[in-house]
């Protein structure tokens, strides 16, 4: 394809991989993931071990939950939530403080969910009232949030011996306990998004706001609902985060951001909104979480993982753009 | 042109000048200067203090002036912070190995422009989303920075002290760092290019409405490719300057710089989501405002985290102003 005179890929509609239907990209993603596992296994048979499975699934847990939250924002036309690190650390801090006060596990979880939801609601309120783009609003609130958190505390950690500390270190059915909430969330959210009224409204708003409004869907209400829900999921991620990590500071969640956004894009969720299957987050998060372990088995320092993840992302979005442009 | 017929035009021009983005950032800049003078005292504007602010501002100013072209062309380049890190590591490892700076610098810039070309290929040629593609490049370049600085040993830093280079980078004219003055001149040249040349008008047209620009015969793909390459080149120059100034490069060099720079550019009137808006002078003033706020906070021995709180608030205020001035409301 020659250099196109205009960039107009976003208008493309219709089945993108004829024949395989909507499952084409999914199969491609799973295939790439399996090839990676098979290739590493052939090169180093000891890669295919329970140890590797534990490492990969552990990495998947927190990123997976955050990716669902991020994908909901993107699908509903909110582009990106760049304030996830602040929301995660804020909810995590609340969880730690509750754990230090000796509260039982359900209270910790409720506290984290409520804090995360409140953070999402703050973002949504600014976005809806000032009619500002979520990317910029969340960029600003993340600046403010992280700085405020640094003024609040330097290091925090859940006390040893508490239930949540145990939860972060035990395994269930051969996998880390923190992996199961993530897997359940992807399954449930992926099932309900296209099958419930609020889910379909979110997709409709993301796809075409004017059309959605014409159908009587309230844009501000949908935005507030999605950002609050997404924030609550960040709160859930914070429970997994504080349970499994050691002492953390307000900057400890920053490194997650890139992986989360990369997972969402690799899963085929359109940043322009209106398109995305949450179930595909499972292979995309899994694939990106396998890379670090794979590299270790190929004898490369862990520093190399970012290079691979970065170029995979560039390649994936270039491929996605190319496909969207070629579609009728 | 008679005076009567020129009057409405002139009125329009002045209204635009007084209410435009450059006007509001100029007012903000004056407020920051006034607060600094009144609260900190005359030492705020002493040559030594401005010299300190200026030295820190050289890298952001160079990055901002060049990345501003990508913003104007409607293709945000998030990879600039990592590009600065990549360039500094690549340049430092060559200097540490005893290579002549005059050979190391072009090689480094070539590598940066090659990386920028990958951005351009993905975004312009294949139609990738600019935010997503350059986020990937950001990640990859950070990885390369880590790998290169890893060669320097476990410290995660490369010591590349070059006496000639250090002397040149830290020389002063009238008590101010030469590089700072040059970076200001660069911003002014960028402003001249944007407002006074055909190239500048093309960049703005492409960012404003690419389809209309294409119909008007402007080579949209070429303009955007140029903007992305220039953005990478500017970050490369900034990485080299960083090493020359400090005599070392580290794993974290340039980390998060893209958000700092874009926050300042948006405070100065650019938009990262809408091409064709903004002006390099506004961007420069935005960076000066942020640096001024940070300096006041530092001189008053207040926790530096307050700087980010103020920057975040200024950012929200600036984008709100931009929307009230006619930017698209988000619903």
Q: What is the mean pLDDT of each run of 10 residues along chain A (328 residues)?
A: 36 43 75 90 86 87 95 90 95 94 91 96 94 90 93 90 84 87 92 88 87 87 93 96 91 86 87 85 91 86 85 86 71
Residue A13: predicted pLDDT? 42
> Which chain A residue has its CA at the smallest distance from B79's CA?
A310
Residue B4: predicted pLDDT? 46
Across B180-194, average pLDDT: 94
Q: Which of A84, A313, A316, A324 to mutate to test the interface with B (most CBs of B within 10 A)?
A: A313
Count the domains in chain B: 1
- Over residues B111-156, the pLDDT tens digits come to 999 999 999 999 999 988 898 899 899 999 999 999 999 886 667 7
Give contacts of A140 with chain B, Cβ < 8 Å: 263, 312-313, 315-316, 319
Residue B243: predicted pLDDT? 94
- Cβ(A222)–Cβ(A205) below 8 Å: yes
Across B53-58, average pLDDT: 93
Neighbours of A104 (CB within 10 A): 12
Are B323 and A130 inside 8 Å of each other by CB?
A: yes
Whether residue A144 is contained in a domain is answered as: yes
Burial B91-130 (b: 16+ CB within 10 A, else e): bbbbbbeebebeebbeebbebbbebbebbbbbbbbbbbbb
Neighbours of A50 (CB within 10 A): 10
Whether residue A143 is contained in a domain is answered as: yes
Distance from the Cα of residue A104 to its chain's centroid = 27
- Cβ(B268)–Cβ(B199) below 8 Å: no
- Give me the residue from A301, A306, A319 closest to B139, CB to CB: A306
Residue B154: predicted pLDDT? 67
Structure tokens at B138: 């950001």
Alpha-carbon distance values, B28 to A155, B292, B300 (Å) = 36, 11, 20
- Give me the residue from B128, B129, B214 closest to A5, CB to CB: B214
Q: How many residues does chain A have?
A: 328
Residue B330: predicted pLDDT? 79
Pairing of strands B172-173, B176-177: antiparallel
pLDDT-derived band of residue B228, with 50, 70 and 90 as boundaries? Answer: very high
Write the CB contacts of A315 (distance below 8 Å, at least 6 apart in sequence).
B122, B136
- Cβ(B318)–Cβ(B308) below 8 Å: no
Name which residue leads in pLDDT, B58 or A214: B58
Whether residue A173 is contained in a domain is answered as: yes
Residues β-bridged to residue A171: A176
Closest alpha carbon to A288 in A49, A85, A59: A59
Burial A278-288 (b: 16+ CB within 10 A, else e): bebbbbbbbbb
- Give me the residue from B126, B220, B263 closest to A143, CB to CB: B263
Whether residue B118 is contained in a domain is answered as: yes
Query: What is d(CA B173, CA B131) in angstroms, rounded to the nearest whole number?
Result: 40
Structure tokens at B68: 């501003």
Structure tokens at B109: 């810039």
pLDDT-derived band of residue B14, with 50, 70 and 90 as boundaries? Answer: low
Q: Is the pLDDT of residue B251 over 60?
A: yes
Are B132 and A307 inside 8 Å of each other by CB?
A: no
Are B319 and A304 inside 8 Å of each other by CB?
A: no
Count the domains in chain A: 1
- Cβ(A99)–Cβ(A245) below 8 Å: no
- Cβ(A84)–Cβ(A257) below 8 Å: yes
Whether residue B5 is contained in a domain is answered as: no
Neighbours of A31 (CB within 10 A): 11
Whether residue B317 is contained in a domain is answered as: no
Please say whether the dihedral angle defined by the alpha carbons of residues B146, A146, A68 and B258, taken in this order, is positive or negative.
negative
Closest alpha carbon to B152 in B243, B219, B248: B248
Are B331 and A219 inside 8 Å of each other by CB?
A: yes
Percent residues over pLDDT 90 in chain B: 57
> DSSP letters along B177-200, please?
EHHHHHHHHHHHHHHHHHHHSHHH
Q: Which of A265, A303, A322 to mutate to test the interface with B (most CBs of B within 10 A)?
A: A303
Are A132 and B320 inside 8 Å of each other by CB?
A: yes
Could you list the residue range(s) of the whole structural domain that residue A74 is in?
Answer: 62-255+270-276
Could you list the residue range(s) of the whole structural domain that residue B143 is in?
Answer: 48-255
Residue B7: predicted pLDDT? 53
Whether residue A138 is contained in a domain is answered as: yes
Judge if ipTM > 0.90.
no
Whether residue B109 is contained in a domain is answered as: yes
Whether residue B320 is contained in a domain is answered as: no
Q: Is the pLDDT of residue B189 over 90?
A: yes
Our CA dihedral for B284, B285, B286, B287, rounded to 10 degrees, sits at: 60
- Over residues B149-178, the pLDDT tens digits come to 988 666 778 888 888 888 888 888 888 999
Residue B290: predicted pLDDT? 93
DSSP state of A274: S
Whether residue B330 is contained in a domain is answered as: no
Phi and psi at B153, nearest 5°, equal 120, -175
Phi and psi at B79, nearest 5°, equal -85, 0
Are A317 and B141 inside 8 Å of each other by CB?
A: no
Pairing of strands A175-176, A171-172: antiparallel
Whether residue A121 is contained in a domain is answered as: yes
> Which chain A residue has its CA at the smallest distance from B156's CA?
A303
């Amino acid at each position: 394809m020659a250099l196109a005179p205009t960039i107009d890929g976003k208008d493309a509609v219709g089945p993108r991989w004829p024949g395989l239907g909507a499952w084409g990209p999914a199969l491609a993603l799973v295939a790439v993931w399996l090839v990676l596992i098979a290739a590493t296994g052939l090169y180093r048979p000891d890669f295919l071990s329970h140890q590797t499975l534990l490492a990969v699934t552990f990495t998947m847990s927190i990123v997976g939950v955050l990716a669902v939250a991020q994908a909901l924002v993107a699908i509903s036309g909110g582009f990106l939530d760049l304030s996830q690190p602040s929301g995660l650390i804020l909810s995590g801090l609340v969880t730690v403080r509750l754990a230090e006060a000796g509260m039982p596990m359900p209270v910790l979880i409720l506290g984290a969910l409520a804090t995360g939801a409140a953070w999402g609601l703050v973002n949504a309120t600014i976005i809806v009232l000032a009619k500002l783009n979520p990317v910029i609003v969340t960029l600003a609130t993340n600046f403010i949030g992280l700085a405020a958190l640094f003024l609040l505390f330097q290091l925090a950690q859940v006390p040893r011996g508490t239930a949540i500390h145990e939860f972060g270190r035990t395994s269930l059915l051969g996998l880390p306990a923190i992996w199961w909430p993530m897997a359940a969330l992807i399954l449930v959210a992926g099932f309900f998004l296209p099958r419930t009224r609020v889910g379909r409204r979110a997709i409709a708003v993301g796809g075409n706001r004017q059309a959605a409004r014409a159908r009587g869907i309230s844009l501000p209400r949908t935005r507030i609902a999605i950002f609050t829900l997404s924030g609550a999921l960040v709160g859930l991620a914070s429970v997994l985060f504080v349970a499994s990590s050691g002492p953390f500071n307000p900057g400890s969640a920053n490194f997650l951001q890139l992986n989360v956004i990369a997972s969402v894009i690799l899963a085929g969720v359109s940043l322009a909104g209106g398109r995305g299957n949450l179930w595909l987050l499972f292979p995309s998060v899994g694939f990106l979480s396998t890379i670090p372990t794979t590299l270790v088995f190929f004898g490369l320092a862990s520093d190399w993982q970012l290079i691979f993840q970065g170029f995979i992302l560039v390649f994936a979005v270039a491929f996605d753009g190319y496909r969207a442009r070629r579609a009728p | 042109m008679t005076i009567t017929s020129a009057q409405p035009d002139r009125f329009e021009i002045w209204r635009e000048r007084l209410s435009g983005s450059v006007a509001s950032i100029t007012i903000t800049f004056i407020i920051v200067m006034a607060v600094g003078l009144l609260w900190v005292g005359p030492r705020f504007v002493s040559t030594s203090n401005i010299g300190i602010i200026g030295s820190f501002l050289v890298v952001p100013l160079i990055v901002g002036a060049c990345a501003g072209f990508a913003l104007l062309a409607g293709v945000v380049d998030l990879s600039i912070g990592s590009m600065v890190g990549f360039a500094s590591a690549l340049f430092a490892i060559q200097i540490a190995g005893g290579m002549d700076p005059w050979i190391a610098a072009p090689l480094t810039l070539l590598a940066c422009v090659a990386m920028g070309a990958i951005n351009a290929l993905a975004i312009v040629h294949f139609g990738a989303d600019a935010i997503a593609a350059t986020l990937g490049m950001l990640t990859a370049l950070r990885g390369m920075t880590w790998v290169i600085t890893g060669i320097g040993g476990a410290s995660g830093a490369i010591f590349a002290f070059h006496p000639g280079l250090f002397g040149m980078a830290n020389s002063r004219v009238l008590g101010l760092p030469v590089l700072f003055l040059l970076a200001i001149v660069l911003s002014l040249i960028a402003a001249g290019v944007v407002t006074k040349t055909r190239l500048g008008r093309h960049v703005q047209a492409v960012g404003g409405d690419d389809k209309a620009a294409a119909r008007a015969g402007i080579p949209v793909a070429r303009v955007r490719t140029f903007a992305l390459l220039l953005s990478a080149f500017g970050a490369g120059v900034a990485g080299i300057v960083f090493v020359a100034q400090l005599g070392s490069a580290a794993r974290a060099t340039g980390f998060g710089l893209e958000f700092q720079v874009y926050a300042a550019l948006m405070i100065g009137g650019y938009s990262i989501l809408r091409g064709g808006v903004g002006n390099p002078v506004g961007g420069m003033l935005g960076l000066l405002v942020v640096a001024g706020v940070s300096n006041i906070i530092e001189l008053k021995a207040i926790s530096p985290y307050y700087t980010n709180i103020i920057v975040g608030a200024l950012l929200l205020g600036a984008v709100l102003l931009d929307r009230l001035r006619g930017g698209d409301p988000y619903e």
